[in-house]
Structure 1
Amino acid sequence: MGADTAQPPLSDPDLEHLLRPLFAAAAPEGGIAVAAIRGTERTVACRGYADRAGERPVRADTRFELGSVTKTFTALLLADMVARGEVGYDDPIDRYLPAEVLPGYPHERPITLLHLATHTSGLPRLPVGLAPAAVPRWFTSPYATFSAAHLLRALPRTPVRGTPGTRVRYSSLGAGLLGLVLERAAGQRYQELLGGRVCEPLGLVDTSCGTGRDETTGYRRGRWIPSFKVPALPGAAALRSTADDMLRYLQAHLAVDAVPIPERTGAAASLRTALREVSLPRVARRGFGQRIGLSWHHRPAEDAADREVVFHSGSTGRCTAFVGFDRAAQTGLVVLAGPLATGRRRFAQSAHEALRALAA
């Protein structure tokens, strides 16, 4: 496969057929970028436009909002810091947060960093007190005015359901709080910490929290959608990236020992250890037939009982993203889309099917 960032069909007819449902998912005013890995083959294919006027075709370096796929980067940062001995998976959050901002515990068992990374903290999906600011702009930029100061004021009023570590309850609050804890442990802002520990070593040159060049512009039903901002919880959903960068991200997870990482003191060894750690399943998700690793979801491969598909999806008002891989089959898929013509659930299902077909 060769890189293809223009509009013509892919040179591989089988791959063109496999990806057609994903290309069809993009709305007329949107665009889509797909990166695929199959063994030693790599390709990036793009369709549609990054602007409503149809003047900027989507390319391999067009930036899309990743939404909750950001959580996998935060988990990788956690694993790297554990490998360096800077934090521990079983560290309680009160080691890094002052007592006056801790959530109230119904049990004596504290919330740990591992609980935050595996969605077993018992924290709610979203912060307490978010609704008044979020509801008026729920379909545009619901978190834009909810700051880190708001979050710290809300945490003491935040309920913890059940005993931490006993049940999976998906929590963007927990993932975002993990990012805040890692900031405090390292003494650096999330963006700088992630950039220096993950993005720069992996060669992810266009992956960051801030807006930049060649961003997709978002319209839904003719209405302009502003760029996504989540100042209180960047570790949960703030990242933007490109198909080119996400292809490198996939490669790093599929071939840990082969990925080129600059040999700075401790950097290469700790990051390789982290890349192995994040894709290990940790806890079962009851009733879903899935397991959870460090943020990543695990689902058994349909054609082989001894293999698992590892994946995560995310969405913002503007964009929808899917990232998944099958390490045993050495296949991976990234799909970054602007406004969709189909529902997000149907889009995610199409991405799952395409990933399984790649492995087959």
Structure 2
Amino acid sequence: MRPPAEPASEPASLTERLHLVARAAGRDAGVAVAAYTGGDSLAVCQGFTDRTRTRPIDEATRFETGSVTKTFTALLLADMAARGVVHLGEPLSRCVPAWALPRGPHGAAITLEHLATHTAGLPRLPPGLLPTAARSWFSNPYAHYTPDRLLDSLARSRVCRRPGTRVAYSNFGMGLLGHLLAERAAADYASALQTHVLRPLHLTDTGCDGLAQATGHLRGRPRPPWSIPALPGAAALRSSARDLLTCLRYLAEPARLPDGSLRYAMTEVLRLRALSADGPRLPLAWSMRALPGRDLYFHTGATRGFTAFAGFSPRPGTAVVALANTNPTLRGTFIQQAYLLLRALSAPD
């Protein structure tokens, strides 16, 4: 995402700022926007879970979060590495059979850390997905792509650049990472995430199983629940503004957690690492922008009926969550306004 420019003027109060973000989602959208700044939290909710207008949105309403899921997959990776179950530098050649390694001279050199930083060189979508995705492109393009096809798609991929040298955003790569972590944990992805991340953080509204309480909408029409059976680590998570803000606060202030693998993981995902001598320095999963006096970490997400933003700054401890039950549009400013709020709240006095 290209961060937008600073706004010409800012609303006077935090409540007004939250309302400004919420209005950017559109008049009919169900929205939850929450922020943490100066030691205090505040949320603004508008609209309803669906167009019957019977259940209002609140802080605990579950939304599909799309690619914000990737940040939780990174936490799971860092926690499992802290416990010695995996190693960040572990190569694919130790995780998949030899026949499944990507083609090209660099496929065997891909590590778990490359997958978590989008520097593995894998394609954005799994090879072989599009023929099955076409019939449900505007509802559930991943629904008919099953887990048994994952390694075949990996074998059909070609890696032309040395891993670690260039960022190429990949749903396939992050979904593959979630699959490999689940295998190593001897569980499915949803269960591994619940056991090692969600339950210890007391995120009771969050999970990959079950439905979002809000109904997603694409161009005003309701969409079926998002389904991504082979790649849950890329985009399967449902969560609430309340839970996401809690998680972001721990990321911004990990010392609030008891000492242990998850506290270490909160710090590890933010550590900038150079995976090659001539490559960028990156955190795990998050986008990061260095600004005067602080660093901003953020991630966006979208399914066919939902839009999500999550962002925070460790110095000062600041966080913003914005969730809407409408799909992103080219002219929409919902994500922009959420980012601008984070930037404004984290600015030094």
Greater mean deviation of Cα atoms: 218-227 or 245-254 = 218-227
Is the 2:69–2:237 Cα contact (8 Å) retained in structure 1?
yes
Q: Following the alignment from structure 1 to structure 2, what is the Cα–Cα distance between the partners of residues 142 and 183?
A: 23
State the secondary structure of the residue aligned to 2:102: coil
Does 2:265 match 1:274?
A: yes
How many aligned residue pairs are there?
333
Greater mean deviation of Cα atoms: 201-210 or 149-158 = 149-158
Closer/same/farther in 2, CA of residues 344 and 59 from structure 1, 3 Å limit = farther
Query: CA deviation digits over 1:150-199, x for unaligned, max 9?
Result: 22222211111311111111111110111111112121111111000000
Is the 2:22–2:334 Cα contact (8 Å) retained in structure 1?
no
* Partner residue, 2:233: 235
TM-score w.r.t. the length of structure 2 is 0.90
Closer/same/farther in 2, CA of residues 218 and 103 from structure 1, 3 Å limit = same
Q: Following the alignment from structure 2 to structure 1, what is the Cα–Cα distance between the partners of residues 249 and 232?
A: 24
* Partner residue, 1:253: 251
Distance apart, 1:20 and its partner CA? 3.0
Distance apart, 1:27 and its partner CA? 3.1
Q: Following the alignment from structure 1 to structure 2, what is the Cα–Cα distance between the partners of residues 244 and 257?
A: 20
* Partner residue, 1:300: 290
Q: Which residue of 336, 339, 349 corresponds with 1:349?
A: 336
* Partner residue, 2:84: 85
Q: Which amino acid aligns with 1:210?
A: D
Query: CA deviation digits over 1:127-147, x for unaligned, max 9?
Result: 001001112222211101101
Instruction: Give the RMSD, CA atoms, in angstroms.
Output: 2.0
* Partner residue, 2:13: 14
* Partner residue, 1:112: 111
Is the 1:60–1:242 Cα contact (8 Å) retained in structure 2?
yes
Q: Following the alignment from structure 1 to structure 2, what is the Cα–Cα distance between the partners of residues 156 and 330?
A: 43
Query: CA deviation digits over 1:217-275, x for unaligned, max 9?
Result: 1233342211111001000000000111112111111221113x5xxxxxx51000000
State percent identity of aligned pairs. Answer: 47
Q: Which residue of 292, 302, 319 corresponds with 1:332?
A: 319
Structure 1 regions of 5+ residues with no counterpart? Answer: 1-11, 262-267, 285-289
* Partner residue, 1:45: 44
Is the 1:325–1:331 Cα contact (8 Å) retained in structure 2?
yes
Distance apart, 1:341 and its partner CA? 8.1
Q: Following the alignment from structure 1 to structure 2, what is the Cα–Cα distance between the partners of residues 108 and 251?
A: 37
Q: Following the alignment from structure 2 to structure 1, what is the Cα–Cα distance between the partners of residues 328 and 150?
A: 35
Spell out the pairing of 1:1-360 with structure 2 (5 A cutoff). Answer: 14-107=13-106, 110-212=109-211, 215-259=213-257, 268-283=259-274, 292-301=282-291, 304=292, 306-339=293-326, 343=330, 346-360=333-347
TM-score w.r.t. the length of structure 1 is 0.88
Q: Which amino acid aligns with 2:242?
A: D
